[in-house]
Amino acid sequence: MRYLDGPKPRFFAHRGGALEAPENTIEAFRAGLDAGADRLELDVHATSDGHVVVIHDETVDRTTDGSGLVREKTLADLQALDAGARFVADDGTRPFSGRGVVVPTLAAVFEAFPGVPLNIEIKQNAPAIEAEVLAVLDRFDAREQVLLAAEVGEIMERIRRVAPDVASGTSVEDGAEFLDYWARGRLDEYTPRGIAFQVPPTFMDQPLVTREFVEVAHAHGVEVHVWTIDEADEIERLIGLGVDGIMTDRPTVCAEVFRRLGHR
């Protein structure tokens, strides 16, 4: 499936569903899709031996039983760690500890879930890894299957330079530019940089995703994907505003709202 195919609102399992399984693992991605998500959101870094791996932080400390920088470890080093050790379920247990959960490669995600649209956020800034990410996409003929995202403007600019044919999101700087044009009443001069604003519902304690925000984004051909939304009433409220996507750490909760509202 191409990234822009499929029904709206789009249903993203954020890191696979980080509150329901160990984030950014094959186990989480499978659980998120089984719950009803139709696309996966994930983060990537690279190992010292050049493998693109799926992990949010620049270190392994928070999500595995190891410590240290991802970029200083080989793939073998990384996959010797327990990526299920630190996940705590709602009942206080650690059901994935010692179960062989590993930090996956991006290639392993494509192999496990062929055809599933992926929202890939490149987290590593230095050394740059865009070429390595694109090599994986090309190995699976997946350029139309993904959106490449980056919070950092420098990374986003590199993505657009080396992969102009791949759908891109918007960096923090891109979002600020949009809001600046809007505040100065110059939206007629604004040209979108990406296909989707991927934003939180509020910023600095002020509402960001409003009906007007969504309508203005749509008028410029830009989708609005909101993160990270885990409460049923908030998911329903945002859908009512017309957003194009919900990113959630609780796919089971989001799936129930989507079904109740007739979206799946």
CA distance 173 to 179: 10
Verify whether residue 218 is a known catalytic residue.
no
Active-site residue, from 14, 45, 51, 225: 14
CA distance 128 to 154: 10
pLDDT of 212 > 90? The answer is yes
Single-letter amino acid code for the residue at 43: D
What is the average per-residue pLDDT within 164-192? 96
Confidence of residue 80 (pLDDT cuts 50, 70, 90): very high
pLDDT of 192 > 90? The answer is yes
Give the pLDDT confidence score for residue 11 in this predicted structure. Answer: 98
Report CA torsion sign: 164, 169, 175, 178.
Answer: positive
What is the average per-residue pLDDT within 64-89? 98
The beta-strand segments (E) located in the chain are 10-14, 39-46, 52-54, 118-122, 146-149, 167-168, 196-199, 202-203, 206-207, 223-226, 245-248
Confidence of residue 88 (pLDDT cuts 50, 70, 90): very high
Give the pLDDT confidence score for residue 20 in this predicted structure. Answer: 98
CB-based contacts of 158: which residues, under 8 Å, 6+ apart?
128, 130
Q: What is the mean pLDDT of the chain?
A: 97
- At 157 the three-state DSSP class reads helix
Give the pLDDT confidence score for residue 134 in this predicted structure. Answer: 98
Give the pLDDT confidence score for residue 203 in this predicted structure. Answer: 87
Active-site residue, from 45, 51, 56, 263: 56
pLDDT of 236 > 90? The answer is yes
The beta-strand segments (E) located in 47-130 are 52-54, 118-122
pTM: 0.97
Give the pLDDT confidence score for residue 264 in this predicted structure. Answer: 86
Q: Per residue in 18-57, pLDDT tens? A: 999 999 999 999 999 999 999 999 999 999 999 999 999 9
Verify whether residue 14 is a known catalytic residue.
yes
Confidence of residue 200 (pLDDT cuts 50, 70, 90): very high
Q: Per residue in 131-171, pLDDT tens? A: 999 999 999 999 999 999 999 999 999 999 999 999 999 99
Confidence of residue 204 (pLDDT cuts 50, 70, 90): confident
CA distance 209 to 178: 13
What is the average per-residue pLDDT within 185-194? 96
